[in-house]
Copies of this chain bind each other. A is one copy, B any other.
Amino acid sequence: MLTIEPIGTIHSPIDTPENAPIQPRGAEGLQGEIEIFPRFSAGLADLEGFSHLYLIYHFHLAKRTSLEVTPFMDTSQRGVFATRSPLRPSHIGLSIVRLLGIRDNILTIQGIDTVDQTPLLDIKPYIENFDLVKESRSGWMQAGPEEVAARRSDDRFL
């Protein structure tokens, strides 16, 4: 078992997990702030040179686990590891956001798709040389960007 202490809190305009955007793709206009607890703020040095960040966070409102789920972007049941559903055993979420700026221990970000007050576990820089996948296959997920952007969450993962 691994015990993880949050490094901060995500502040977002999304105040309920229902009717929320699906992934940062659906939240391109939404700005939020990340508050890093002051005892960790020395770890933010040099981060401002990166345009995009991975946020690793706790789906703190997901109170149960399910190995088969119907994703927001689909109508069929899928194995939970083939989805980004909060009901995964780890309850860990992953999103890529744009970093707009850092002031002391506060990051301003764009494209936030997490609910307000989400506990942040880690930040990693998006590094093109490590992370850019030039060609990929996305299985059941066939929706185009417009469809993702238009879709909103519901109560299925509560």
Chain A interfacial positions (CB closer than 8 Å to B): 1-7, 23-25, 40, 42-52, 54, 56, 58, 67-68, 77-84, 88-92, 94, 96, 119, 121-133, 135-141, 143-145, 148
Contacts and interface: CB of A to CB of B under 8 A. Distances in A.
Given A45-B79, A54-B94, A92-B122, A4 B7 contact: no
Nearest to A99: B137
Nearest to A139: B49
A40 B4 contact: no
B47 A2 contact: no
Given A54-B94, A84-B130, A46 B139 contact: yes
B25 A42 contact: no
Given A50-B139, A84-B124, A127-B141, 19 more contacts: A2-B4, A2-B58, A3-B3, A4-B91, A7-B90, A40-B81, A43-B79, A43-B81, A48-B139, A49-B138, A51-B138, A56-B56, A81-B124, A92-B122, A125-B138, A125-B141, A126-B133, A126-B136, A131-B133
Most central of A1, A58, A123, A138 by chain B CB within 10 Å:
A138
A138 B145 contact: no
Contact of A124 (B43, B48, B94, B144): B94
The majority secondary structure among interface residues of chain A is mixed
B137 A51 contact: yes
A25 B48 CA distance: 23
B132 A52 contact: no
A129 B45 CA distance: 30
